[in-house]
Amino acid sequence: MALSLVADFELGKDVLPWLRAQRAASEARGAGSGGADVLENDYESLRVLNIERNGNIIYTYKDDKGNVVFGLYDCQTRQNELLYAFEKDLEVFSCSVNSERTLLAASLIQSTKEGKRNELQPGSKCLTLLVEIHPVNNVKVLKAVDSYIWVQVIKNSGHLPRDRIAEDFVWAQWDMSEQRLYYIDLKKSKSILKCIQFYADESYNLMFEVPLDISLSNSGFKLVNFGCDYHQDREKLSKHLSLCVFTNHTGSLCVCYSPKCAAWEQITYSVFYIHKGHSKTFTTSLKNVDSHMTKGITFLNLDYYVAVYLPGHFFHLLNVQHSDLICHNLFLTGNNEMIDMLPHSPLQSLSGSLVLDCCSGKLYRAMLSQSSLLRLLQNTRLDCEKMATLHCALSCGQGAQFLEGQWRQRADLNTNRVLSDFLKIIQWISENVSACHSFDLIQEFIIASSYWSVYSEISNVDKLLPHSSVLTWNTEIPGITLVTEDTALPLMKVHSFKGYWEKLNSNLEYVKYAKPHFHYNNSVVRREWQNLISEEKTGKRRSTAYVRNILDNAIKVISNLEARNLEPRLTPLLQEEDSHQRLLMGLMVSELKDHFLRHLQGVEKKKIEQMVLDYISKLLDLICHILEASWRKHNLHSWVLHFNSRGSAAEFAVFHIMTRILEATNSLFLPLPPGFHTLHTILGVHCLPLHNLLHCIDSGVLLLTETAVTRLMKDLDNTEKNEKLKFSIIVRLPPLIGQKICRLWDHPMSSNIISRNHVMRLLQNYKKQPRNSMIDKSSFSLEFLPLNYFIEILTDIESTNQALYPVERHDNVDAEFVEEAALKHTTMLLGL
């Protein structure tokens, strides 16, 4: 299943065997009796009370005398320890111990002999005690009230604060890990969510308040994460409202809400993305509903995602970071492996993606399984599910970072498994480039993977880089309807922020003022690159220092990429100059660096420069890996790089995926690895008929590089078919490259082209001057007056130019060469 629940702790395996061993040792000493029956009774009363902030687990059970015993399971040493025992028949609701294990606080109710709560006994029902368990047993009554109390042991037991920090609230949630209290009070029938942050020095602050469009006036009182109440009626629980708050380290704040459910035919739930300033309300219809259904909706915090599921019916994975488009959420219904494998008992979501099954006493660590998501990616048919599954898989694998050399060298099995799964995703994409109709799969993979590769380096990078190539999504998701509404932003009650609160405040400021959004795009790079290419064609180019700086940027990217990739590449990429791609690469470095410097205040320039190099080099590396996956599958070899071989079905398949890569990068105006166009052209010459090949060249699908054309001229002989190909290629080259290539081809056609270019260059600024009409015939080998007169003019111009601008001639191209080429060409035309 895509959601993996890995059991970190289980009462039946981690505690019960130890209790049995303790009992057996005690009986062997003659200190007790009771046998197996008592052990089974112990197991029935054995339950988890609290997951401490350090991960330790406090549990309780009743011995054969009815005494309440407290034990602790150390998550680091995997050892159990008995903490304390009350020699009374009590019902415990919460318990906590300090890190030194010298103080224990417990909240409990005295039970009757029948084992039920003594609701009619006068006086306080709930008693909270502070017990000094080491070095002496000293019990202090902290509080005696009529309701349940959650306890946490404080450092200074001698000074117990009596501050009343909140009252008249209808709902509350305690975050043990972050030491935060969320609660809702009603003001004029409006639900106001508030949060109090507690600190190590026992001080606290009210951090924010925000109105929520939910009705709690008739919902009754409810506490979340204040301990497990094992006596709740499950049928009532399933029809009760569900409300919980989830946060993560990126500064997200989500409120998940499901109202009371009178009937199960249709179910509604909402997620308030407080950090985004909007809410989404989902409605789905259930099939095959049991009239005695006892299961309610469960919300789980999965870091970058929130999971909503109803056992046996649906599973909804909601993207917390990028909630704008519904296609980034995964919604599954019916008979699905992911749904069937999830526990059907009520779960309690804790901090750090921990999930507690109160009924079985199991503590799970919830995480997305990349291998299972890959299977789902391979089997699902809907574009929206492919999109959502791809993003889930990349987020849990953190994208292209698993292609890094340092990851490849690690012996960690889990890392190697994730790396293997990521490479399988690349393989699947290379085999299914046409599988999606609503979006370009290669584009989405490149953009999303590059985004995740640098996501962890700087906190605000998600606001500056695109995470998806899709900007809008208007197609409905089958099985669910959605209503999106803007919500009020929280009113922050403090003015200085640190840690999580700084990130949340940054998110809120972005929602307020970032219009339009700050996401980077290559539009500026496109214009500048086109200007530079145009200047190159006309022979005019701005300062040499400017261009050198751009090309130096490209060199840094290539070096950064090669330093991180220690394995030899299968494909001949990154091995040639390809000045156009290096210009594009260097311009992107320059523009992206300026973009970050504008918006990342206070970040070191050197760190920004390295992040830019990482981002662009990883983008190029992804393209290399997609191509290599196809190259490896079709088992291509180095002889493919020669023009004198014939194309195969395998070569055509690689040519096709290269064409799709080119389409994907062209529309986003992303650079390609140097050598890409050369390889693409070679495969095109192998696989395409001449008219198709020339059409691809003319339409820009194939870009002729100097390396590719040079190799073509050298590899192919001068058969009639090859002559036609060579000539068709040469006439399509830019003038500067064309002139260099023609000199490599010893053929009358190339001589003709060289001559034409030479004459055009000489005559482009020629002004006719009065001339002597008498021509010295002795200087010409042939008496053909038009040609003789023309050659005389060219000789004159060459002499003048040589006097004014003395330069070295190249390959003896002069008027005499032109004359010889003209005569040969005429001879050929006349068939002589």
* Residue 820 to residues 306, 780, 787, 814, 824, Cα–Cα distance (Å): 79, 11, 11, 10, 6
Domain range for 633: 522-703
Please list the residues that pair with 68 across neighbouring strands. Answer: 62, 86
One-character DSSP codes across 294-359? ----EEEEETTEEEEEETTTEEEEEESS--S-GGGSEEEESS-HHHHTS--S-EEE-GGGEEEETT
pLDDT tens, residue by residue, 487-525: 999 999 988 889 999 999 999 998 988 766 788 888 888
Total domains in the chain come to 2
Residue-level pLDDT at 411: 40
Token readout for 98 is 């300090």
684 falls within a domain: yes
CA–CA distance, 259 with 649 (Å, rounded to integer): 59
Closest by CA position to 738, among listed 701, 765, 713, 766: 713
Query: Torsion angle of alpha carbons 644, 650, 655, 660, nearest 10°?
Result: 180
Burial-class residue 479 by CB neighbours within 10 Å (0-12, 13-18, 19+).
Answer: middle
823 falls within a domain: yes
Over residues 120-138, mean pLDDT: 70
Q: Are 534 and 635 in the same domain?
A: yes
pLDDT tens, residue by residue, 409-448: 434 445 455 567 788 888 899 888 888 888 999 999 999 9
Please list the residues that pair with 462 across neighbouring strands. Answer: none
Over residues 694-702, mean pLDDT: 91
Residue-level pLDDT at 445: 93
Residue-level pLDDT at 320: 92
b/e for 790-807, b at 16 or more Cβ within 10 A?
bbbbbbebbeeeeeeeee
Q: Are 547 and 676 in the same domain?
A: yes
Least confident of 239-248, 456-465, 800-809: 800-809
Q: Are 677 and 787 in the same domain?
A: no
- Output 725 or 646, whichever has higher pLDDT: 725
Against a cut of 0.75, is the pTM above it? yes
One-character DSSP codes across 391-423? HHHHHHHTGGGGGSHHHHH---HHHHHHHHHHH
Q: Are 696 and 757 in the same domain?
A: no
Residue-level pLDDT at 408: 42
Closest by CA position to 522, among listed 619, 624, 436: 619
Please list the residues that pair with 284 across neighbouring strands. Answer: 267
Q: What are phi and psi of 92, to 5 degrees?
A: -100, 140
Q: Are 533 and 625 in the same domain?
A: yes
646 falls within a domain: yes
Eight-class DSSP state of 13:
I
Q: Is the dihedral of CA 12, 18, 24, 27 positive or negative?
A: negative
Peptide bond into 516 cis (omega under 30): yes
Least confident of 225-239, 411-425, 458-472, 605-619: 225-239
**Count, residues in the chain:** 832
Least confident of 136-150, 647-661, 731-745: 136-150
Q: What are phi and psi of 762, to 5 degrees?
A: -70, -35
623 falls within a domain: yes
Closest by CA position to 303, among listed 455, 120, 423, 426: 455
Residue 21: strand, helix, or coil = helix
CA–CA distance, 470 with 106 (Å, rounded to integer): 53
796 falls within a domain: yes
Q: What are phi and psi of 482, to 5 degrees?
A: -135, 135
State the alpha helices, DSSP H only, in 634-747: 649-668, 676-687, 690-698, 706-715, 720-730, 735-742
* Residue 36 to residues 23, 64, 686, Cα–Cα distance (Å): 10, 11, 79
Q: Are 565 and 646 in the same domain?
A: yes
542 falls within a domain: yes
Q: Are 681 and 760 in the same domain?
A: no
CA–CA distance, 111 with 117 (Å, rounded to integer): 5
Q: What are phi and psi of 269, to 5 degrees?
A: -150, 155
Q: 119: pLDDT confidence band, cut at 50, 70 and 90?
A: very low
Peptide bond into 135 cis (omega under 30): yes
258 falls within a domain: no
Closest by CA position to 225, among listed 308, 152, 161: 152
Please list the residues that pair with 209 across neighbouring strands. Answer: 194, 491
For the chain, give the percent of residues with pLDDT over 90: 25
pLDDT tens, residue by residue, 526-541: 888 888 888 777 767 6
Q: Are 329 and 316 in contact (CB under 8 A)?
A: yes
Q: Are 665 and 757 in the same domain?
A: no
Q: Are 688 and 826 in the same domain?
A: no
559 falls within a domain: yes
Q: Are 692 and 626 in the same domain?
A: yes
Q: Are 660 and 792 in the same domain?
A: no
